[in-house]
Amino acid sequence: MSNDAYDLDHIALAAADTSDLLRFLTGVCGGTILWGGASIGFRPMQVHIGNAESGMKIELLEPWETERNDFLQRFVQRHIHGPHHMTFKVPDIRAAIERFRESGFSPVNIDLRDPYWMECFLMPREAHGTVVQLAQTNETSAFVDRKELLAHLAVHGPNGNPRWWVDADPPVDEPLVLQNVVMATPSVSAALGFFAGLLGGAVVGESADRIDLQWPGGAALSLEQNTDVAPGVDRLEIEGLTEAQTVLGTRFVPAD
């Protein structure tokens, strides 16, 4: 990934209890748990759905210490469960904020206090039906690439600070690959201006009612013309999945 490129890092799914999602992602999909921990108002953990060559990360979120911050609790009360946000890593968060403001957007919940993780958010009404998190991280990884990281995890297991999640289910078969996040939109052209024009996705496929985008790290997002459903994340396409399944409000479907 270029140091000056925007990159789609992960999609986050939320529920009061994400255990069923984790079991599906590790058992059926053969995913690898990367790390987890706890923060103010939520506790996250991430799973890589793929192999050493390809795939994407899914973050699972549960409300935690909601008396200190109830943003995720309010989401769960309103939606019960389902896709919560997508995170894009940016090289310069201040420049990104200014760029979006100049384009008529209103980034909110701006937090630049921690030099190792600075962030802001764009709300669904501006981000085509989903929450978009922009984040600048100055943390350096000890691993050169995904292959090296997965090899390390196979020996040492994930970093949990603290570990709060249930045990992973053993994989049914070889790891499946999260190939694509599909977003429904009433206007592909408007969504393209946002996800490609502002967030830097490269067009890698195009048909009459769908445009496929990809980012430097390999994560992919498709914009699909659809006025029959609410705008936002519609489904996750997984290579190797044999049949569609809905788990805690998120649709997982076989990739074409």
* Tens-digit pLDDT profile for residues 167-205: 999 999 999 999 999 999 999 999 999 999 999 999 999
- The pTM (predicted TM-score) of the whole model is 0.96
- DSSP code of 39? B
- The pLDDT of residue 25 is 98
Residue 3 has pLDDT above 60, yes or no: no
DSSP output for 42-59:
EEEEEEEEE-SSSEEEEE
* Tens-digit pLDDT profile for residues 33-60: 999 999 999 999 999 999 999 999 999 9
Who contacts 57 (Cβ-Cβ below 8 Å, separation ≥6)?
9, 10, 11, 34, 46, 47, 48, 49, 219
Q: State how far the Cα of 84 lies from the Cα of 150, in Å rounded to an integer.
A: 26
Mean pLDDT of 134-154: 89
* Tens-digit pLDDT profile for residues 56-107: 999 999 999 999 999 999 999 999 999 999 999 999 999 999 999 999 999 9
Amino acid sitting at position 24: F
Q: State how far the Cα of 17 lies from the Cα of 68, in Å rounded to an integer.
A: 19
Q: How far is CA 166 from CA 40, 138, 160, in A?
A: 20, 30, 12
- The pLDDT of residue 1 is 41
User: Using 50, 70 and 90 to split pLDDT, how confident is the model at 141?
Assistant: confident
- DSSP code of 1? -
- DSSP code of 25? I
- The pLDDT of residue 2 is 47
- The pLDDT of residue 143 is 78
User: Other CB atoms closer than 10 Å to residue 141's CB: what's the count?
Assistant: 9
What is the CA angle 13-16-22, rounded to 5? 55
The residue among 138 and 37 whose pLDDT is bigger is 37
| Domains, in order of start, for the chain | 7-254 (3.10.180.10)
